[in-house]
Amino acid sequence: MKAITYHQFGSVDVLKYEEAALPALPDDGVLVSQRASSINVVDYRARTGLLAPFVNKKFPKIPGADVAGVVIAVGSKVKGFSVGDAVLGATDPFKGGALAETVAVLAKNLVHLPSEVAFTQAAALPIAGVAALESVRDLGAVKAGQSVLIYGASGAVGLYAVQLAKHFGAHVTAVSGAAGIEVLKNLGADLVIDYRKGPIKFNKQFDVIIDYSSQFPFNAARAILAATGRYVDASPNIPKFILSMIGNLFRRQKNLMLATATKAADLLTILDLVQKNKLAITIAKNFPLDQAKQAFTEMERGGTVGKIVVQVG
């Protein structure tokens, strides 16, 4: 099969489009003929070696986690999926495997894809959509009437998070670069602030603050976080996890770390909202598989509003 591969950690220059070995069929998973995938921040962090402590050292590796395609083989222990089913799901982002013509996926991370949702749209959902749901609904515990601040709102996850916070009835302030302002207003953000215009002065407190930009840390956010407010950090690391857990025992403002696990139940929730037109998918650009290197380059440059999708086949 054809795939995007890399034989060592490094910049986009290590990426190749070449022949790769077919993945093995897991007992508790399926093989999917990929139709589309998309690029997530975790994919390029894994490729650069930043996540090396969590990633095995076996090369070549295939990047990518988002899966949207058709089942072509079913593992012996799998129930509920058959050859020919259209599916949506994700591989373990630390292991990758999705930027390829055939992908192995565990059945617990897979759902059926309704025919109304195109593969190229669906591929923009798994990692980013579930990350947004887990940050807004689970960690943020956003409720109707609350005031929510979303930093880095025009990125892949932020655009979903703004819509989800609105869906749960919150008043949403979004901080983004200029390119995202109109899109964010159209998606329902109540106030949109361009971070490139200089230091931002907030004249209110927020019940929930979610940072997708890595530029607004908990210690800076505390001054505008309600006394019992919740702060969500989308870029955790081990020291942050440990310090936040200890700190949270002694203060009412909570510092919460996002560690997304793509569960089928969350994918179904996201798909349901998409089908009810309550969650719009914003595709920034669409690349064919053999141009995935350009897709990474574009994403890593920044300023992208929404998802970069890679079409397979």
Q: For binding to ligand NAP (CB under 6 A), which residues are involved?
A: 40-42, 127-128, 131, 151-152, 154-158, 175-177, 179-180, 195, 212-215, 234-236, 258-260, 302-304
DSSP designation for 61 = B
Which residue number, 20 or 139, has a Cβ lying nearer to ligand NAP?
Answer: 139
Tell me which residue has its CB nearest to ligand NAP. Answer: 155
For the chain, where are the E strands, in sequence order? 2-5, 16-19, 29-38, 66-74, 86-90, 102-106, 110-112, 147-151, 171-176, 191-194, 206-211, 225-233, 254-257, 283-288, 307-311
For 78-224, where are the E strands, in sequence order? 86-90, 102-106, 110-112, 147-151, 171-176, 191-194, 206-211
Smallest gap, in angstroms, from Cβ of residue 305 to ligand NAP?
7
Smallest gap, in angstroms, from Cβ of residue 127 to ligand NAP?
6
CA atoms within a 13 Å half-sphere pointing along the CA-CB vector of 214: 6
End-to-end alpha-carbon separation of the chain, Å? 11
Smallest gap, in angstroms, from Cβ of residue 21 to ligand NAP?
28
Matching residue, tokens 């999917």:
32
Which residue number, 4 or 132, has a Cβ lying nearer to ligand NAP?
Answer: 132
Q: Are 50 and 13 in contact (CB under 8 A)?
A: no
Which residue number, 63 or 158, has a Cβ lying nearer to ligand NAP?
Answer: 158
Which residue number, 188 or 236, has a Cβ lying nearer to ligand NAP?
Answer: 236
Smallest gap, in angstroms, from Cβ of residue 287 to ligand NAP?
16
DSSP designation for 136 = I
DSSP designation for 113 = P
Smallest gap, in angstroms, from Cβ of residue 215 to ligand NAP?
4
Which residue number, 27 or 182, has a Cβ lying nearer to ligand NAP?
Answer: 182
Which residue number, 69 or 158, has a Cβ lying nearer to ligand NAP?
Answer: 158
Q: Are 99 and 123 in contact (CB under 8 A)?
A: no
Which residue number, 101 or 138, has a Cβ lying nearer to ligand NAP?
Answer: 138
Smallest gap, in angstroms, from Cβ of residue 94 to ligand NAP?
11
Distances (CA, A) of 42 to 111, 114, 268: 22, 27, 22
Q: Are 165 and 153 in contact (CB under 8 A)?
A: no
Which residue number, 17 or 94, has a Cβ lying nearer to ligand NAP?
Answer: 94
CA atoms within a 13 Å half-sphere pointing along the CA-CB vector of 294: 9
Smallest gap, in angstroms, from Cβ of residue 284 to ligand NAP?
9
Smallest gap, in angstroms, from Cβ of residue 156 to ligand NAP?
4
Q: Which amino acid is at 85?
A: D
Q: How far apart are CA 128 and CA 238, in angstroms?
A: 21
